[in-house]
Amino acid sequence: MHSKEAIAERFKVLQDYICKHLELADGTGKFHEDLWTRAAGGGGRTRTIAGQQIEKGGVAFSAVHGPLPAAILKSMQLEPADFFATGVSIVLHPHSPMAPIIHMNVRYFETSDGRWWFGGGIDLTPHYVVEEDARYFHEALKSVCDDFHPDFYQKFKDQADDYFFIRHRQETRGVGGIFYDYLDEKSGLSHTQLFDFALALGQLFPHLYAEMLQRSQSRTWGESEKQWQMLRRGRYVEFNLVWDRGTKFGLETDGRTESILMSMPPGANWVYNFQPAPDSAESKTLTRLQKGIDWLNA
């Protein structure tokens, strides 16, 4: 079993790896780093990019520790203890409406009374759903999951459908992906194997997004696609601020606001009661923002 310090160090290396490969995929953008410390213990390095393909992106590492916040004690029914939490979080918003927004998070949590667990997920939010891209994305996630446990993909895919759901819109955020939390030895995997699973997802991530950017490059777009992208970014804001547990928890427990809201798009629009034209590409996308779609065979 790796020590918590070793896990944090390895996550920093993962952050470096992801940033390097995302710069290569973008072509011109370079990450800028912002180091911060947390008064109650720990800190992080938040890296942001504005490039030729990625309009606004962030790849954040943090490792924080201290007494468990009262809100966690209550929601998880834990006894007072110290905690240690480390992870890498990413959200990338592309310039092109024909490329998807992507999100990834891998995290590790441990308490001074001996509990530990892993959590994480990757999900894709196309402004326009392209079924071949969704299939490619899910196949890649399934391949990594299958290397670790035959049940992981389907279970975590279903959890992503439930988690990345904008309830007040009755829409999924995008085409889903995988989401898992509180993963410990009851999963059948050891601490080391679960850590390896997180690293395998993290190492896949930049290549997966490079492929998505590559596929989008031949797709032309104009003002009307840009307007749709701005509305879909509004939905992304709505999900993150209203429903995302990590965002809500961070903001309500005085986390570092700028790192938490690194996920916000560069811009977003709202139009009262917007309805796309029947049979338009926008309408078709809305019909695909539903739970339970088998993207491997879509």
**Residue closer to a second copy (CB basis): 241 or 296:** 241
Residue 289 CB, nearest approach to a second copy (Å):
15
Catalytic residue among 32, 93, 95, 103: 103
CA distance 210 to 51: 13
**Residue closer to a second copy (CB basis): 22 or 260:** 260
Residue 174 CB, nearest approach to a second copy (Å):
19
**108 and 201 Cβ atoms separated by less than 8 Å:** no
- 138 among known catalytic residues: no
Beta bridge partners of 116: 110
Collect all residues with Cβ–Cβ distance below 8 Å to 235 and sequence separation of at least 6: 166, 169, 171, 173
Q: How far are the Cα atoms of 173, 242, 281 from residue 238, in angstroms, in the given order?
A: 10, 6, 22
**Residue closer to a second copy (CB basis): 147 or 252:** 252
CB atoms within 10 A of CB 257: 10
Sign of the alpha-carbon torsion through 160, 247, 231, 226: negative
**Residue closer to a second copy (CB basis): 144 or 260:** 260
Residue 269 CB, nearest approach to a second copy (Å):
5
Residue 228 CB, nearest approach to a second copy (Å):
14
Enumerate long-range contacts of 277-285, CB under 8 Å, 24 or more apart: 281/128, 282/128, 282/228, 284/129, 285/126, 285/127, 285/128, 285/129
CA distance 148 to 132: 25
**Residue closer to a second copy (CB basis): 187 or 263:** 263
Residue 199 CB, nearest approach to a second copy (Å):
26
**285 and 231 Cβ atoms separated by less than 8 Å:** no
**Residue closer to a second copy (CB basis): 131 or 252:** 252
CB atoms within 10 A of CB 283: 12
Residues that bind a second copy (CB under 8 A): 34, 46, 48, 56, 58, 167-169, 230, 234, 237-238, 241-242, 248, 251-252, 254-255, 257-258, 260-262, 264-273
Residue identified by tokens 């399934």 is 142
* Cα-only R_g, the chain: 19
CA distance 146 to 125: 23
Residue 21 CB, nearest approach to a second copy (Å):
21
Q: Where in the sequence numbering do the catalytic residues fall?
A: 103
